Structure formats: structure tokens, C-alpha cells
Amino acid sequence: MTEKFLANLRSLRRGVLHSPAAQNRTASAVDGSVLIHAEAVSSATDTAWKPGDWAIYRKSKRSKVPGPRASSVKPNLKGETYNYVVQKFWMVDEVHADGTLTMRTTRGKTHRVPADDPNLTRPSWFARLRWRERFMAIENRFGKSTFAA
């Protein structure tokens, strides 16, 4: 029974339940193993972005002097400059049909980013609490969503 449960978990992790053949499955118990239906899995892992959502983008940069918010600082081969990552606090402005997002920065710039970009993440509850003033600055300056403006 444990082997079947682990096999179901592995197939879930590989995305087998999201395949078109598995879309019409329902939850069932066969030989003591439970099969989860795809609708429940897709709703649990649903990461659809909406206008007004807060996002953190990890932007890689290069300069001679990294700023105080720099993380993962590494020197280049010749030692002249450093590569590092900075967290940018953006708000979703528009969701496009091609799977890209228009993001609004604190200063009003816009960036078009793929929704599945690994550098783009939703802030955790702790990050939302810690960096609340950064996100609120965007909302106060441009409203909840500038897509309608």
C-alpha cells in the first residue's frame, strides 16, 4: 500500500495528473490506494496572477559596489566587479493571454515578465508583513491596479 501511495505521489510530482487523459478522472480507492482527481490538484497548485497581486522579483545585477540590499554577492573572475541579486517589489498591473505579466514598480516603470519566471515569486506571509510599506507605496501611488487607468 505504501508503494502505491508513493507511486501516486511521484506521478503527481511529474504532472501525470495534469495530462489531458487524466482530466476526466475522479477520486477513487483501488486496492487501498487513493487516486486524487486532477481538479483538486490543479486548484491546490493554482498560481494564477491577478491585477493588484504583490510580487517579489529577484533581479541579477553587476556593479563595482553592491548596494546594501544585495544578496548572493560573488566577485567576477578578474575581480573588478561583483555579480549579485536584489529583490524588487512589484505589483501585477496586467495579465496577458500569452502568459506574460506587466509588472508595475514603485517608481512607475513597467516590466513585462513571463508568469512562470523562476525569479518571480509571491511573497510569503512573513515577506508581506516585513515589506508591507514597499507594496503599499505602489498601491498608494498608482492605486490597486493601474490597468484600468
How far apart are the C-alpha atoms of 89 and 71, rounded to whole Å?
Answer: 15
How far apart are the C-alpha atoms of 41 and 141, rounded to whole Å?
Answer: 37
* pLDDT value at residue 44: 35
pLDDT tens figures, 50-91: 888 889 999 999 999 988 889 899 998 888 899 999 999 898
* pLDDT value at residue 111: 92
Confidence band, pLDDT 50/70/90 cuts, at residue 5:
low
* CA–CA distances in Å: residue 19 to residues 9, 11, 52, 127: 15, 11, 31, 34
* pLDDT value at residue 45: 36
pLDDT tens figures, 79-134: 889 999 999 989 898 899 998 999 988 888 899 999 999 999 998 889 888 888 88
Q: Give backbone dihedrals phi and psi of 123, rounded to 5 degrees, phi first.
A: -70, 140
Q: pLDDT: is 84 or 22 the higher one?
A: 84
Following DSSP, what letter does each residue of 96-118 receive, concatenated?
Answer: -TTSEEEEE-TTS-EEEEETT-T
User: Is 60 exceeded by the pLDDT of residue 34?
Assistant: no
* pLDDT value at residue 22: 47
